[in-house]
Amino acid sequence: MKSFSGEKIRNVVLLGHQGAGKTTLAEGLLFLSGTTNRMGSVLDGNTVCDFEPEEIKKTISVSLSIAPFEWKGHKINLMDAPGYADFIGETQAALRVADAAVLVVSAVDGLQVQHEVMWRMARNAGIPRLVFVNKLDRERADFHAVLGSLKTLGKGFAPVDLPLGEEHDFKGIVDVLTEKAYSYVDGKATESDMPPDLASEAANLHTQIVESVAENDDDLIVKYLEGEELTAGEVSEGLHSGVCERNVFPVLVGSASKLVGLDRLADLMVEMGPSPVEVGTSVGTKPGSEEPEERPTSPDAPLSAFVFKTVSDPYVGRVSLFKVLSGVMTPDSTVHNFSTGVDERIAHVFVPRGKDHESVSQITAGDIGAVAKLSDTHSGDTLADKAHPIVYEPLEPVDRVIAKAIAPRTKGDEDKLMTALSKIQEEDPALLVERNPETHQTLLWGTGDTHLDVALERLSRKHGVEVEELELRIPYRETITSKGKGTGRHVKQSGGHGQYAICHLEVEPLPQGGGFEYEDKIFGGAIPNQFIPSVAKGVEKTMAEGAAAGYPVVDVKVTLMDGKYHPVDSSDMAFQVAGSLGFREAMKDAGVALLEPIMDLEVLVPDSHLGDIMGDLNSKRGRIQGTEAVAGGRQLVKAQAPMAEVTRYAIDLRSMTGGQGTFRSTFSHYEQVPAHLAEKIIAEAKSN
Ligand code: GDP
């Protein structure tokens, strides 16, 4: 692929609910532009954008892919972002480098949950947006219903196309601006007569667009009010600035699989832009400070680039995808990573297309490229000219709301597992691996069940590590609520070197957070001084291992009251064992209670689901602390609930709200488990 100047580049992300047709649309555009010579299909698993086996198997996109193509002298870097809520981190990454977004909506299914989420994300990213109403050829397609529902996203939607027929009769489109009709055969449009029944609607829409364009421009509004016609050039220019100022959102129609309206969409991407040069400057900071530092989108400025994604390729290894924000990235060069502080050698630079990479001589400001085998560069890092320091804001972290406990299927695979986990985490920063020191489980955290399933499949396929899923252990803690006594007796004197130690211990509760206290009340040398710390050591070991159910013991004071020793057979080891035995007995005497982690929850749901959410939280032993109405007809519910009840809350909430609810949870504190539940947990732990 040849090199394009910044003015001729368009970085466009496709957004939309899963199944709206984004991958098919990307495939259609690649085919129409002559980039590929056949049209792949999602069902056949041979599209450019969905190439990971997990994507082919599930027929959903799970990671962001890049599909550049040439259109009328421009290079469009199309980004296909997954529509599934679990992979929102990929969409966030794409939005960091996109200069415009196309919301793909199915004319059959209309606006869906993820459309709203993604529209909001794109709005927050501050980029111009278009809407492509897809699948007009399908049964039950209803363009006007979609158009009506777009109002729930806000104002400014301008239908520049109307469908020519619908469902089986869908033939093409009517261009509202020129009031001409186009019928399509194999992606090629021929001008045809506009059916009389569409004429008045097209004329109406035309007037609306002209009015909104005029309203945006002081000179045009004067002309318009004086009754003069705006020229086609003026309307198009006005539309362009309305789009760039994010007041106007053109709506197009078509069918991705039948290649209808795709040429118009590509035309509009080119005409409406904006190019990265038009977007202007990128703002970062001077490394190590908050002082702003800017770079113009120009090949003449010092190099700076933002790494927005990392993939691991079976042939070339780790590949970093970046957008050059200023300057030019060339092969055979050295750049500095201002996020990690290392110099990185750039051997080759590539243009990525799906799973393929094409070697190029440079990537210029505004364009997207890839480089392989960087030593210490991760998603979210800034690469730049060492003489001109700058760092850009790293990627926003995503909320990880669910964890799976995993273990290697075969013994001895532990090392391999940790290496493989760190690799998949590198590819997908929305994953987090945690080794829980209390439950001794390896946890994989993510944004949802599907996210984790895909990660585990990838672990096996790409890295050859098979894992089994374990039941998630809750990090309970053991404690006491009353005093107790116990005797530790470790006496073995038959044959050989004997062992002799006896100690009498008392335990009493400390306030929460009190940890462990040890007091020595030995009188008259019943246990010699050198063995007094041995008893404490034995107690502490048992505290770490648990006295009843294998969970660490906390908030206990232990007093050594009395004991006995033998001048020859007593030893440090013997008193440790006696300490441990005595402590267990004293805990049993006091009665072991369990503490459980309590989580702070913040649940965001549509008003209509508030009742269900509160009822469900109550059934999960939750305590509602308050509700608050927030923008967009939603309620923020603050609550506390035991961790044991909400480990799968991500799944429950999704099914209760049809995917419209989100939540965050953070650890708050420990609280005593109700006695009847504690008994069950202890009994289960013992039987395991
Ligand atoms: P994505 O999840 O948004 O990427 O959607 P896909 O591209 O995977 O499409 C989902 C399904 O809809 C696939 O089976 C496509 O073949 C089908 N599809 C996509 N666009 C169209 C279209 O315009 N017309 C029809 N009839 N089917 C389509």
Q: Among 14, 15, 24, which is best to mutate for testing ligand 1, by the most ligand atoms less than 8 A from CB?
A: 24
Tokens of 636: 């923020």
Whether residue 313 has pLDDT greater than 80: no
Q: Among 27, 39, 42, which is best to mutate for testing ligand 1, by the most ligand atoms less than 8 A from CB?
A: 42
- Confirm or reject: Cβ of 24 under 6 Å from ligand 1: yes
Instruction: Please state the rounded mean pLDDT for residues 121-141.
Output: 95
pLDDT (0 to 100) of residue 683: 92
Whether residue 140 has pLDDT greater than 80: yes
- Confirm or reject: Cβ of 114 under 6 Å from ligand 1: no
pLDDT (0 to 100) of residue 7: 94
pLDDT band at 42 (very low <50, low <70, confident <90, very high): confident
Q: Which residue is closest in CA terms to ligand 1's atom 20? A: 21
Q: Is-contact 444 428, C-beta < 8 A?
A: no
Distance CA 31, CA 99 (A): 23
CA 156 to chain centre: 30
pLDDT band at 65 (very low <50, low <70, confident <90, very high): confident
pLDDT band at 400 (very low <50, low <70, confident <90, very high): confident
pLDDT band at 687 (very low <50, low <70, confident <90, very high): confident
pLDDT (0 to 100) of residue 92: 92
Q: Tens digits of per-residue pLDDT, 602-620?
A: 999 999 999 999 999 999 9
pTM over the 0.75 mark: yes
pLDDT (0 to 100) of residue 131: 97
Whether residue 48 has pLDDT greater than 80: no
Instruction: Please state the rounded mean pLDDT for residues 486-490.
Output: 96
Q: Which of 35-39, 243-247, 464-468 bottoms out in mean pLDDT, i.e. has the lowest? A: 35-39
The number of CA neighbours under 13 Å toward the Cβ of 317 is 5
Q: Among 257, 258, 259, 260, which is best to mutate for testing ligand 1, by the most ligand atoms less than 8 A from CB?
A: 257
The H-or-E segment that residue 425 falls in is helix 414-427
pLDDT band at 439 (very low <50, low <70, confident <90, very high): confident
Instruction: Please state the rounded mean pLDDT for residues 112-131.
Output: 91
- Which residues sit opposite 444 in a β-bridge? 404, 433
Tokens of 195: 């059916």
Distance CA 611, CA 630 (A): 16
- Confirm or reject: Cβ of 61 under 6 Å from ligand 1: yes
Tokens of 411: 């013994």
- Confirm or reject: Cβ of 106 under 6 Å from ligand 1: no
Range of 45-54, 82-91, 278-287, 491-500 with top mean pLDDT: 278-287
**If you measure from the C-alpha of residue 21 to the centroid of ligand 1, how many angstroms do you get, rounded to a whole number?**
4
pLDDT (0 to 100) of residue 55: 73
Q: Is-contact 624 637, C-beta < 8 A?
A: yes
Could you tell me whether strands 180-185 and 304-313 are parallel, antiparallel, or unpaired per DSSP bridges?
A: unpaired
**If you measure from the C-alpha of residue 589 to the centroid of ligand 1, how many angstroms do you get, rounded to a whole number?**
67
Q: Tens digits of per-residue pLDDT, 232-289?
A: 888 888 888 889 999 899 999 999 999 999 999 999 999 987 999 998 899 999 999 9
Distance CA 405, CA 469 (A): 6
Q: Which of 150-159, 207-216, 298-307, 527-536 bottoms out in mean pLDDT, i.e. has the lowest? A: 207-216
pLDDT (0 to 100) of residue 541: 96
- On average, the pLDDT of the chain sits at 91
Whether residue 631 has pLDDT greater than 80: no
Instruction: Please state the rounded mean pLDDT for residues 145-162.
Output: 91
Whether residue 43 has pLDDT greater than 80: no
Q: Tens digits of per-residue pLDDT, 342-355?
A: 999 999 999 988 77
Q: Which three-class secondary structure string do you get for 630-676?
A: ECCCEEEEEEEEEHHHHCCHHHHHHHHHCCCCEEEEEEEEEEECCHH
Whether residue 1 has pLDDT greater than 80: no
